[in-house]
Chain A
Amino acid sequence: MHLQQWHYVETTASGQPILRENERDVYVEYPAGCYQGKAKIIGKQKGRIYLTSQRLIYIDDEKPMTNSVSLEIDDIAKVEYSSKFLRKSARLIIYLKDIADESGPRAYNYATKQPQVQRWTCPICMALNKTTKEISVNNMHEFPCENCGVVPDFDMIADSIKSDQTGAFGENDASSSKNACSMCTFLNQPLLSNCEMCGTRLPEKDRELSAGASPDKRVRIELDSKDGLIPGEPVFVQISFRMSDGVLLFQTVSNLLENQERTKIQDVFNKGATSVNNADLQLKSLQILDTDSALSKVGITSLEKSQETKLINNDIILNKALSDLSSLMALASDIEKLYNTMGRKTDHNSHPLLTVDREKFLTKDLFIDEISRELYGFIMSEFQEQKEKEGVILITLVDIYALYNKAMRIGSGLVSPQELKEACGRFEKLGLNDLHLTRINGRVLCVSSGDSFGFIKQKILDVATTDPGTDLLQLSQQLNDNNGNSWTMGIIMEALNNCVNEGKLLVDEQITGIHYYVNFDWII
């Protein structure tokens, strides 16, 4: 039986975790192993630890797809560090929160913040009155009936007073089966742990039911001995560091936990926003409620007055709403336009990308490994179309250097050509078997999959057979006939040179250019 705090992690083919919306990575530790309680977890003893803003992710080196697990930072109560002692390696002990008592403080937090609305029924006209203030015998004279203006005796209304805490947040009750996001108010499926829209961690209370109901089958935890966890005592897991001392990870996790606490206390609604559409946020709808309670005078005049102010208020609100609506529509049409221009390029993968930052790695070696993984993922997704169509990929290192640095490294520090070459050389070592670094014609370094060079050569020969006297331009047009730019000039040039040197093609040099013919006559 594994702890419910272990979660399944989605990974890319190259063994990098797929991050959630709003999640960003903080630090990477390598190599490390996982323990539950005091027992080793089988199959999770050699891998990397990714610390992100929301999770602590373990990615297994051998089977990243099946053996990787994660812990939510929210689930962590505290961390302790145990240093290396004799044969015992340095460890990070993570105490987890008890799932059962998690909802307590959070629910309380909300309750205190909400204004209490009290309702009472006027005994004379039976109108339902509301107030945010506490009604008692002493201050009863402050609350005349909104409808008839008569102040009733407190005894008469005492029965009808209802304090209604959730009045203002009524919709929360109505949809208790849904789980509202505290950041964007989106109503999520109760089974989700993070908001579908913005990725914020959802309130716990609903989730805990579901978590208890069905543990994630994709998480496989097998222990090599008893974990020694006693029910009732705090549960803990450990991360053992195989090479490094792990102090850095410990410090970053504790920092993260501290920050997490701080941000939780802050109000999350419209956080950081000072105004919405130029309207001051401080201007709350409570103002309107104030006018209601401010009506203190008795009689028909005051009723008329209150009616007038109500109308004016309604006008103001309506105007505001309309102007908001029109600006929203303008924005919507803008977005629609933007969407139409970008229509062709639908982004399948909208997850935020792991930023592989130099500072997150203890040694350069780790950094290059991570670059290698990222490169692999990048090439596989960037040249996916070609891979599907032709079955092979062949790109010069120069092209990759430019593409990768422009697409992925801006903002996180460009990689040097040397680093790129090293990273490409490590594909095999990291078990990324689809790509490898090759040197064609003994000089041009390329990343290729399978026998792509042989493939392109065969294609060139085919073209030259059907169309003798073809030149470079024509070749590249024919090869890239139906899909963009998969074969670059440089690659075709090299393949041509190789064919000529091997005697498969004959050249006919003219002022107009070099024309290529298949060698049928002069067989070697």
Chain B
Amino acid sequence: MTEKLPPIYNFPPLYTCQPNVLIREQQLSTWCDLILDFAKTNNAWCMSQEGTVIKDSESSGQSIFRNESIQRSISVPFRDQIWNKMVQSEKAIKSNNGVFFILWRSVDYWSSQILQWFETTGKVNQVVTVYELLEGDETLGWEFHGMHPSLCEESLQKLRDRGRATLLKEQNKIMGVKVV
């Protein structure tokens, strides 16, 4: 899973919190890039705090924060620093159950992608369920196919804020969407 990461992933000092503040900033942003890269290549929408990919609400695979090939792993305080940085720079969203949604594209990008899909497929003014949108055959080949429902909700919220979508809720859960 981590094989395709850039070579800096195998640089041992990456795993130690650097004492120099300016250097540490760059180290953190290197980590952010690595996580985004990692999530993108593995098509991972959300990750646990430990750095593992979560699919179907089950964490699987190895942690990005542990590099077996050079026998290095990151300390817990430094890992929290990285996540903080991710959230601050809006590259991740922390959900309430300690899971991070990795935004290898921004939320705006996703919402415009969804909008684009509605327009190209002529689904405007039709009600489409979230399940259809994310898992249906019609979205195959689109980047947001397989997206985590919570993240999808975020993107749809954006559309609604722009006045382009009406959200259909059932038991406080968004079930469907109608784009106008």
The chain B residue with its CB closest to the CB of A515 is B12
Chain A residues in 8 Å Cβ range of B23? 503, 506, 519, 522, 524
A503 CB contact (under 8 Å) in B8, B12, B16, B20: B20
Q: Is A215 positioned at the interface, with any CB of B under 8 Å from its CB? A: no
- Give bound CA distance, A260 to B18, whole Å: 72
Chain A: residues with Cβ within 8 Å of the partner, total of 16
Chain A residues in 8 Å Cβ range of B15? 508
Q: Is A509 positioned at the interface, with any CB of B under 8 Å from its CB? A: yes
Q: Is A502 positioned at the interface, with any CB of B under 8 Å from its CB? A: yes
Q: Is A377 positioned at the interface, with any CB of B under 8 Å from its CB? A: no
B20 touches A500 (CB 8 A): yes
Proximity string of chain B (108-138) to chain A, C-beta cutoff 8 Å, 1 when within and 0 when not: 0000000000000000000000000000000
Q: Nearest chain A CB to B64's CB is how many angstroms away?
A: 18
Considering the complex, which residues of chain A in the window 475-512 have a beta carbon less than 8 Å from any beta carbon of chain B?
500-503, 506-509
Q: Nearest chain A CB to B133's CB is how many angstroms away?
A: 40
B13 CB contact (under 8 Å) in A501, A502, A506, A523: A506
Summarize A's interface: helix, strand, loop or mixed. mixed
| Given A503-B22, A503-B23, A524-B23, A508-B16 contact (CB < 8 Å) | yes
A501 CB contact (under 8 Å) in B8, B11, B20, B26: B20
Q: Is B27 positioned at the interface, with any CB of A under 8 Å from its CB? A: yes
A507 touches B16 (CB 8 A): yes
Chain B residues in 8 Å Cβ range of A506? 13, 16, 18, 23
B8 touches A507 (CB 8 A): no
Considering the complex, which residues of chain B in the window 1-31 have a beta carbon less than 8 Å from any beta carbon of chain A?
8, 11-13, 15-16, 18-20, 22-23, 26-27, 30
Q: Is A30 positioned at the interface, with any CB of B under 8 Å from its CB? A: no
Q: Is A425 positioned at the interface, with any CB of B under 8 Å from its CB? A: no
Chain A residues in 8 Å Cβ range of B22? 503, 524
Proximity string of chain A (317-352) to chain B, C-beta cutoff 8 Å, 1 when within and 0 when not: 000000000000000000000000000000000000
B16 touches A521 (CB 8 A): no
Chain B residues in 8 Å Cβ range of A517? 11-13
- Give bound CA distance, A517 to B15, whole Å: 12
Interface size of B as a range: 10 to 19
Chain B residues in 8 Å Cβ range of A508? 12-13, 15-16, 72
Chain A residues in 8 Å Cβ range of B72? 508
The chain B residue with its CB closest to the CB of A499 is B20
Considering the complex, which residues of chain A in the window 365-397 have a beta carbon less than 8 Å from any beta carbon of chain B?
none
| Given A469-B12, A507-B13, A508-B15, A521-B30 contact (CB < 8 Å) | yes
Q: Nearest chain A CB to B28's CB is how many angstroms away?
A: 10
Chain B residues in 8 Å Cβ range of A503? 20, 22-23
Q: Nearest chain A CB to B59's CB is how many angstroms away?
A: 27
- Give bound CA distance, A500 to B19, whole Å: 7
- Give bound CA distance, A492 to B65, whole Å: 32
- Give bound CA distance, A524 to B15, whole Å: 19
The chain A residue with its CB closest to the CB of B24 is A522
A522 touches B16 (CB 8 A): no
Chain A residues in 8 Å Cβ range of B26? 521-524
B11 touches A507 (CB 8 A): no
Considering the complex, which residues of chain B in the window 31-82 have a beta carbon less than 8 Å from any beta carbon of chain A?
72
B16 touches A509 (CB 8 A): yes
A507 touches B30 (CB 8 A): no
| Given A500-B19, A503-B22, A522-B30 contact (CB < 8 Å) | yes
Q: Nearest chain B CB to A25's CB is how many angstroms away?
A: 52
A507 touches B19 (CB 8 A): yes
A521 touches B11 (CB 8 A): yes
Chain B residues in 8 Å Cβ range of A515? 12-13
Chain B residues in 8 Å Cβ range of A521? 8, 11, 26, 30
The chain B residue with its CB closest to the CB of A514 is B16
Chain A residues in 8 Å Cβ range of B11? 517, 521
Q: Nearest chain B CB to A309's CB is how many angstroms away?
A: 95
Q: Nearest chain B CB to A174's CB is how many angstroms away?
A: 81
- Give bound CA distance, A500 to B22, whole Å: 11
Chain A residues in 8 Å Cβ range of B20? 500-503, 524
- Give bound CA distance, A517 to B18, whole Å: 11
- Give bound CA distance, A517 to B11, whole Å: 9
Q: Which residue among A500, A506, A523 has the maximum number of chain B CB atoms within 10 Å of its CB?
A: A506
- Give bound CA distance, A501 to B16, whole Å: 14
Q: Nearest chain B CB to A271's CB is how many angstroms away?
A: 69
Q: Nearest chain B CB to A17's CB is how many angstroms away?
A: 51
The chain A residue with its CB closest to the CB of B26 is A522
Q: Nearest chain A CB to B10's CB is how many angstroms away?
A: 12
- Give bound CA distance, A353 to B64, whole Å: 67
The chain A residue with its CB closest to the CB of B8 is A521
Q: Nearest chain A CB to B73's CB is how many angstroms away?
A: 11
Chain B residues in 8 Å Cβ range of A524? 20, 22-23, 26
- Give bound CA distance, A515 to B11, whole Å: 12
- Give bound CA distance, A521 to B28, whole Å: 12
Chain A residues in 8 Å Cβ range of B12? 469, 508, 515, 517
- Give bound CA distance, A524 to B26, whole Å: 8
| 11 more CB-based (< 8 A) A-B contacts, given A508-B16, A522-B27, A524-B22 | A500-B18, A502-B20, A506-B23, A507-B13, A507-B18, A507-B19, A509-B16, A517-B11, A521-B8, A521-B26, A523-B26
The 6 A-B residue pairs whose C-beta atoms are closest, nearest first, are A506-B13, A522-B26, A508-B12, A508-B13, A503-B20, A509-B16
A positions within 8 Å CB-CB of B = 469, 500-503, 506-509, 515, 517, 519, 521-524
Give 5 A-B contacts (CB < 8 Å), ordered by A residue. Answer: A500-B20, A506-B18, A506-B23, A515-B12, A522-B23
